[in-house]
Structure 1
Amino acid sequence: MKILFVNNGLAGGGVEKLLNDMLPLINESGNYCELLILFDDDAKYLESLRNNGVKVQIVPKKIYNKGHFQRILYIMNYIKNNDFDIVHANEFPLIYYCSIIKTILGKKMPKLVMTEHNTDNRRRHIKLSRPLEKLIYRNYDKVTSISDKVQEVLLDWLRPNDRDKYVVVYNGIAAENFRNSKPYERSDLVPEISEKDKLLCVIGSLTEQKNYFLC
């Protein structure tokens, strides 16, 4: 299969880390994938992906700066000019862009997939956006959520009739990176720590939705 992933950028977020780890493995599996991003500002994983043989296409800044219509047109032409089997969208506004492109291309559009990464976003706090969101998500052939809770709140928001296309696919890790790992000494992490002190490890952004208050 030939797969195009589309994403906003390659800064240090969870989505970008997942793409950095996953795309080289897809190519190693005998399939082919490439990545199209809107901008390369603070592109933490750009060099890593390219060094691992993944083609990364960046929307030219002169196109990006012209606004939504020109970005959509550029992405649509990129899809049309390449023989992709699947287009996989991540993040807003690209999930909107790709849905609009499918409306324009119709049957000429490859299979369209997206991943829902979050339990909340600003759009869900605007009641009038629900009808628009239902139309946007309806264009996708498959909608994956990274956890049961993400899917639960998404379905509660959209209330779709075609619930069967909504599935949960948990984020994976490259297990071989951890098989030979060794634990740090406590004093290596915090030199002044005592044996009575508790250490708390946090993996994720320091935001309310991570539920740190439960700790």
Structure 2
Amino acid sequence: MKILQIINSLGTGGAEKLMIDTIPLFNEKKLKVDLLVLNGNETPFFKTLQQINCCNIFPLGNGSVYNPFLIFKIIPYLKKYDLIHVHIFPSLYWVALAKMISFSKTKLIYTEHSTSNNRRKYFIFKLIDRYIYSFYSKIITISSEVDNNLKVHLGFKSNRFEIIQNGINLETIKQTKPIIKTEIALNIKKDSCILIQVSSFRYPKDQKTVIKSLTHLEDNIVLLLVGDGPLKTECEVLADTLNVSERVLFLGIRMDVISLLKSSDIIILSSHHEGLSLSSIEGMASGKPFIASDAPGLGDIVRNAGIIFPINDEIALAKEIQHLLNDKTYYHETVTNCIKRAKNFSINNTIEKEIHLYKSLLQPIS
């Protein structure tokens, strides 16, 4: 069985991280799984997968992922694999159109990673989406909320969809060691309290609310922001405007995220909506209390394990942070509940369910 995964790039993001975590495991299970990226910039994720040397990586260039000529570059690959598994828009569109133009019989799977997107606001895109998604034999949704929203949007029969939750490597997280606080950055001291958010700087992520919360917290509380993206500059300007720039450290893309999580005192994910956030699950598995905004696709994962605060409410967030720091019993109870919740999201379950789906689609019809 030869499978080709296709994604826009290996920049930051949960779907991109999933490629790094799952492709080596697929190949360990004797599946031949390769990766095609529309944009082949050598990001840290790209270099990591190269170093693992578990699969072929096919970059289609270094230009815009929105270039429709990528359709013609995709077509030759449709003939070389038994099944194509696609992630993220616009890969979703380009692969479907490549199949249409080439009359390829290769079966397609698409994984929907988000509860919502801007296309769903417009009726014309509802019609276009219905056409594009019709080329996919199966649509994987990563949570019940993602599943319900997409079914309403497309109006397809339920048997076209399958819920397979994203997962994390719990054993790797358990074995990873923290970094000594003072080695993370020069202005972090032994008595500093570290908050951390790991996410790209693009909507729907909401680092701004976390930055604003610092104005309601003690000066020894610092914030690590891991990731990159188009909204990073706005966040840097905000930190400077609020006079907290010395307490906000922009660390960029890091490959030692788990070590940073374990070095921090509180882990936060402020967002407007999510699909099934791997960052949130890694945060809950790290042995530190996890706080999340009550956003679609995020609140339901964290509720009754970690702590929830209202979207855009920096004052409520600051109060929750202070409560954790002042009440050690509450702190440790939250940690225990988070670790217990994270155990429901093992990457091994994700792998087994996807392999089963692949085999079911490739079985000859009797």
TM-score category (smaller protein): 0.7 to 0.9
**Corresponding residue for 1:39?**
39
CA distance in structure 2 between the partners assigned to 1:50 and 1:131 by the alignment: 39
Bigger-Rg structure (1/2): 2
**Corresponding residue for 1:175?**
170
Between 1 and 2, higher relative CO (CA 8 Å, sep ≥ 6) is seen in 1
**Aligned runs of 1:45-56 on 2, under 5 Å?**
45-53=45-53, 54-56=55-57
Match of 2:267 among 194, 201, 206: 201
**Corresponding residue for 1:60?**
61
Q: Which runs of 5+ in 2 are unaligned?
A: 194-217, 222-264, 275-291, 295-307, 310-366
**Corresponding residue for 1:122?**
118
Alpha-carbon shift at residue 155 of structure 1 (Å): 0.7
Q: Which amino acid aligns with 1:173?
A: I
Is the Cα–Cα contact under 8 Å of residues 138 and 161 in structure 2 kept in the other structure? Answer: yes
Q: Which runs of 5+ in 1 are unaligned?
A: none
Alpha-carbon shift at residue 85 of structure 1 (Å): 1.0
**Aligned runs of 1:63-142 on 2, under 5 Å?**
67-68=67-68, 70-80=69-79, 82=80, 84-106=81-103, 108-142=104-138
Aligned length: 205
**Corresponding residue for 2:139?**
143
Match of 2:149 among 125, 146, 153: 153
Alpha-carbon shift at residue 97 of structure 1 (Å): 1.1
Match of 1:212 among 264, 279, 293: 293
CA distance in structure 1 between the partners assigned to 2:141 and 2:267 by the alignment: 25
Q: TM-score, normalised by structure 2?
A: 0.51
CA distance in structure 2 between the partners assigned to 1:43 and 1:182 by the alignment: 24
Q: TM-score, normalised by structure 1?
A: 0.83
Alpha-carbon shift at residue 102 of structure 1 (Å): 2.2
CA shift digits 1:64-121 (9 cap, x unpaired): 69930x21011012222x2x11101111111111111222333x33110010000111
CA distance in structure 2 between the partners assigned to 1:96 and 1:183 by the alignment: 41
